[in-house]
Structure 1
Amino acid sequence: MIQAISPAQLQALLRERPDTVLLDVREDDEVALCALPGHRHIPMNLIPLRHNELPDDVPIVLYCHHGIRSLNSARYLAEAGFDDLYNLSGGIDAWARDIDPEMARY
């Protein structure tokens, strides 16, 4: 099951579970503009080829710009057998707005 997670909830999860994987599914040029600290980057189109690089024993929070691509990627991972999946509501744009106003936005 894919759970929606707000930026504030994600901040709390990262304090509680620092081993949480932050999976950025945006394109390279988007990641170059801004990214969450400690993220892992696998563009959405490469998830089917590279999902075996992800651990299946820790929470995985997927994010993109606004949350649509990451939700679709999370659905793919759920079908592939991953359990502890979250989608960042509003994407990195919501994180920048609500948590890190110094972060670049686009």
Structure 2
Amino acid sequence: MIEHIRPAQLPDWLARHAADRPLLLDVREPWELEVARVRPDGFELVAIPMGQLPTRVQELDPARPTACLCHHGARSLRVAAFLAQSGFEELANISGGIDAWSLERDPTVPRY
């Protein structure tokens, strides 16, 4: 199942899954990370562009709860669906993406 959460809800999601070492997966392109970057605050962050994920999925642990992030939430939802088909069980899509992150969690993150 893919849970849909807003950036403001991420701390609660992380707390619910704390025992399983939750992960934030940023699937944006490298140029996007240069424009607007999430600063990990109490969570592990891994960046793998969506197009590279099929060849790099083995870098991720299917037992770890994974929240996916992109620009607005569409790519991250597709990635979450791919991960679900690959055996990941605890998944979340961060609705609104980094754009909403800037509005709800960290206004120092530029919007683009």
TM-score, length of structure 1 as denominator length:
0.91
Q: How many pairs align? A: 106
Whether contact under 8 Å (1:22, 1:36) holds in the other structure is: no
Query: How far did 1:15 drift?
Result: 4.6
Tell me what 1:32 maps to.
Answer: 34
Matches within 5 A, 1:21-100: 21-38=23-40, 39-100=45-106
Instruction: Provide the alpha-carbon RMSD of the alignment.
Output: 1.5
Report the more deviating stretch, 88-97 or 33-42.
33-42
Provide structure 1 residue ranges, at least 5 long, that are not aligned to the other structure: none
TM-score, length of structure 2 as denominator length:
0.87
Could you tell me the percent identity over the aligned residues? Answer: 45
Return the alpha-carbon distance in structure 2 between the equivalents of residues 105 and 31 of structure 1.
12
Provide structure 2 residue ranges, at least 5 long, that are not aligned to the other structure: none
Q: 1:36 to 1:14 in 2, by over 3 A?
A: farther
